Amino acid sequence: MSASEIKTQSVYRSEQQTQGADYRPAVILQVLPELDTGGVERGTVDIARAIVDGGGVALVASQGGRLERELERFGARHITLPLKSKNLFTMRRNVDALVELIRTEGVDIIHARSRAPAWSAYFAARKTGIPLVTTFHGTYSGYNNLIKKRYNAIMTMGDQVVAISNHIAAHIRKFYKMDPERLNIVPRGTNTDLFNPENVSQERLISLSNQWRLSGEEYVIMLPGRITRWKGHCFLVKALPAVLEALGHRNVRCLMVGSDQGRTGYRDEVLDLTKKLGLEDIVHIVDHCADMPAAYMLADVVACPSIEPEAFGRIPSEAQAMGRPVVSTAHGGAMETVLPGETGWLVTPNEVGQLSVALTQVLRLTPEKRAALAQKGRKHVIENYSLIQMAEKTLAVYEKALKGAIRNAA
């Protein structure tokens, strides 16, 4: 089933309906805490678009955020509910709100993408008799605490469960006992039309280059992602002196592209380390960027030095789609998305020497080797991590959930 063929069979609700009822587009409700920025939010919007493009009805319930308007532009609908709250009374009220929404809108599947909304969605699904799909987006924490482990377990309690990488699927198998027939691996997708070097104009590059005060002559090392400790900003800063020494010059800019989202303490820590190492002219935090395809085009190397495993990690995939070499830490999702020596480099977490050597090797690539790597990286993403593949696999999970619900109702 392709993204343009999502007219799936509805869940029949009465004896009368089961006798000769027609097919109709499925109504899919996705629930998550908010619709601001991040991989969970982006994936929600992408799947909502696939549902609408295929003739289905896409509903999204959350606390809201900047991506609401994008949903509206392609015909999905947002319903504002306090689903970010972990307050037990609010979560209980959310159950009732979701039950009413399911019945009013004729929802066929509810798809939960985070723990607090998933608990409300679970009880709403059971009350209304529709299937629940859950997406396990991260490893979470607290597995030594029985209460937290139980709280996390909701993400394995869907009629169908989606893991966003083999890394997450292995984590689920390690900590939870569940029917393997319910576990589906659906890697996050990259929009290879948006992240396509051929679609980035010179005007966009010039505008962003001027904004960041780049001359076009310097080497650019880019670390995209929010400013948070586990993303490894300090790890990268510590690796830079050896890179400068190996190159024999300081014509390098290290751009950290992302918001601190209120984490001013860690941001100050990064800047203090930069000052301590005498790198004030090299390292720049440039905050949120609205044009990431152009940002990638300005980079000579994209660094993903996370010190904790990424559940999937969209940055390596996006960077490779843009033909940019990636240097990432060898754990989590990067072990699946980066091909060492072919599309990028993998280094041991917190091994400053390894990171310095890898960055230097990338910056010294010949034009011919850089072009070959770019071609291989883009091909790798298109074949394995495209948005179309994510949509098709997710829609297949929905179809599987619907068929299971129909069997159970028969």
Mean pLDDT confidence for 144-172: 93
Q: Is the pLDDT of residue 1 over 80?
A: no
**What percentage of residues in the chain have a pLDDT greater than 70?**
93
Q: Among 87, 86, 68, which Cα is nearest to 77's?
A: 68
Q: Quote the pLDDT of residue 409.
A: 64
What percentage of the chain reaches a pLDDT higher than 90? 82
Please answer whether residues 312 and 166 qualify as being in contact, where contact means their C-beta atoms are separated by less than 8 angstroms.
no
- Residue 3 pLDDT class (50, 70, 90 cuts): very low
Residue-range domain boundaries for the chain: 27-189+386-409, 197-384
Question: In terms of CATH architecture, what is 27-189+386-409?
Answer: 3-Layer(aba) Sandwich (3.40)
Q: Are strands 132-136 and 109-112 parallel, antiparallel or unpaired?
A: parallel
Q: Supply the Cα-derived Rg of the chain in whole angstroms.
A: 23
Model confidence band, residue 22 (pLDDT cutoffs 50, 70, 90): low
Contact 107, 29 (CB under 8 A): yes
How many residues belong to the chain?
Answer: 410
Give the residue ranges of DSSP H helices in 63-217: 68-73, 88-105, 115-128, 146-152, 166-175, 202-211
Q: How many CB atoms lie within 10 A of CB 400?
A: 17
The whole-number pLDDT of residue 366 equals 96
**Which single residue is written with the structure tokens 């629940």?**
132
197-384 homologous superfamily: Glycogen Phosphorylase B; (3.40.50.2000)
User: Could you tell me whether strands 27-31 and 57-62 are parallel, antiparallel, or unpaired per DSSP bridges?
Assistant: parallel
Q: Which tokens hold the place of 77?
A: 């609908």
Domains 27-189+386-409 and 197-384 share a fold: yes
**Average pLDDT, integer, range 15-35:** 72
Rounding to the nearest 10 degrees, give the CA dihedral for residues 243, 245, 246, 248: 120
Rounded distance, CA 243 to CA 279, Å? 12
Question: 3-state class of 157 per DSSP?
Answer: coil
Q: Does the structure show a pLDDT above 90 at 13?
A: no
Read off the pLDDT band of 146 (50, 70, 90): confident
49, burial (CB in 10 Å: exposed 0-12, middle 13-18, buried 19+): buried
Q: Which amino acid is at 389?
A: Q
Tell me phi and psi for residue 114, to 5 degrees.
-160, 160
CA–CA distances in Å: residue 264 to residues 228, 274, 284: 10, 15, 15
Tens digits of residue pLDDT in 275-318: 999 999 999 999 889 999 999 999 999 999 999 999 999 999 99
pLDDT, tens digit (0-9, with 9 covering 90-100), for 354-392: 999 999 999 999 999 999 999 999 999 999 999 999 999
* Lowest mean per-residue pLDDT among 3-12, 185-194, 238-247, 309-318: 3-12
- State the pLDDT at residue 408: 67
Sheet with 183-185, side-by-side order of all strands: 77-80, 57-62, 27-31, 109-112, 132-136, 160-163, 183-185
For residue range 99-119, list pLDDT tens digits in order: 999 999 999 999 999 999 999
Q: How far is Cα 182 from Cα 370, in angstroms, rounded to an integer? A: 42
The encoded tokens of residue 156 equal 């394995």
Residue carrying the six token digits 């319903």: 79
pLDDT at position 20 over 70: no
pLDDT over threshold 60, residue 410: no
Q: Which residues of 273-301 are buried (b: 16+ CB within 10 A; e: fewer)?
A: ebeeeebeebbbbbeebeebbbbbbbbbb
Could you tell me which of 150, 149, 155, 151 has the C-alpha nearest to residue 136? Answer: 155
The tokens for 209 are 């280059």
Average pLDDT estimate for 64-74 = 93
Q: Give the residue-averaged pLDDT of 79-98.
A: 97
- Number of neighbours of residue 323 by Cβ within 10 angstroms: 23
pLDDT value of position 407 = 63
Distance CA 320, CA 379 (A): 9
159-171 mean pLDDT = 95
Residue range 153-161: average pLDDT? 96
Report the pLDDT value the prediction gives residue 187, as an integer from 0 to 100. Answer: 95
Question: For residue 309, how many other CB atoms are within 10 A of its CB?
Answer: 21
Q: Mean pLDDT for the chain?
A: 91
> What is the pTM (predicted TM-score) of this model?
0.84
Q: Give the least confident one: 15-19, 183-187, 212-216, 237-241.
A: 15-19
Describe the crossing of helices 88-105 and 115-128 by its angle, rounded to 10 degrees.
50
Look at residue 272 and tell me whether its pLDDT is greater than 60. yes
304 and 223 Cβ atoms separated by less than 8 Å: yes
